[in-house]
Amino acid sequence: MTTRLGAALIVAAACAAGCDEQLADVAGPTPNLTPTFSSIQREIFLTTDSAGRAACANCHNPNGSAFRQVGLDLSSEAAYGLLVGVPSRERPELLRVAPGDPDNSYLVHKIEGLAGIVGLRMPRSGPSFLTSGQIQIIRRWIERGAPRD
Ligand code: HEC
């Protein structure tokens, strides 16, 4: 972790919504990424970034391998309704996104590659995986209550 990222994470932890501008410092290969659903879908789910990470929607679309296996489409307007408050197929005791609780959101477990996940770390094509800054911004959206904006 770079010093700059470390500092930004401390700021993010210490601040409420007013400090979200600081997260721009950690967005790395997706400089326009902000902690909103529309930005996360546009910059992470739909986009292959400059660090070589594959777009999630390559597989998570209605015709893709991941949709057949776990029923998760990240490519369309259905994505929000398939993530927020919906039980994971792989670990049904966990929600894919538990509003306000990134530590108990299976989406976060899968992009961090936590012990206890079923299947592989996402993106399944990785490495490259998401950077710690990208993950921090997704966590922040969930902490904000995972709003649909
Ligand atoms: C190369 C294809 C591929 C890519 C790219 C990919 N996935 Fe997946 N994903 C899968 C497959 C296949 C599964 C089921 C098997 C597994 O978990 O390894 C899965 C499972 C998941 C699950 C578990 C769903 C559940 O209900 O338990 C989540 C969450 C997930 N992916 C999120 C993502 C995200 C976010 C990205 C992008 C950062 C991504 N995936 C990129 C193929 C992919």
The closest-lying atom of ligand 1 relative to the alpha carbon of residue 107 is: 29
pLDDT at position 15: 55
Q: For ligand 1, is residue 66 a contact (CB within 6 Å)?
A: yes
Q: What are the per-10-residue average pLDDT scores of the chain (149 residues)?
A: 55 55 87 97 95 94 95 97 98 98 98 98 95 97 97
Q: For ligand 1, is residue 36 a contact (CB within 6 Å)?
A: no
Q: Is residue 149 part of a domain?
A: no
Q: Is residue 11 part of a domain?
A: yes
pLDDT at position 13: 53
CB of 39 closer than 8 Å to CB of 33: yes
Q: For ligand 1, is residue 123 a contact (CB within 6 Å)?
A: yes
Domain with 34, as residue range(s), is: 3-143
Measured in degrees and rounded to the nearest 5, phi and psi for residue 34 equal -130, 165
Residue nearest to atom 33 of ligand 1 (CA): 122
pLDDT at position 18: 54
Ligand 1, pocket-test mutation among 42, 59, 88, most atoms within 8 A of CB: 59
pLDDT at position 1: 47
Q: Is residue 94 part of a domain?
A: yes
The closest-lying atom of ligand 1 relative to the alpha carbon of residue 106 is: 29
Q: Is residue 148 part of a domain?
A: no
pLDDT at position 36: 98
Q: Is residue 27 part of a domain?
A: yes
HEC profile for the chain? CCHHHHHHHHHHHHCCHHHHHHHHHHCCCCCCCCCCHHHHHHHHHCCCCCCCCCCHHHCCCCCCHHHHHHCCCCCCCCHHHHHECCECCCCCCCECECCCCHHHEHHHHHHHCCCCCCCCCCCCCCCCCCCHHHHHHHHHHHHCCCCCC
pLDDT at position 48: 94
CB of 34 closer than 8 Å to CB of 137: yes
Q: Kindly report the pTM of this predicted structure.
A: 0.90
The number of folded domains in the chain is 1
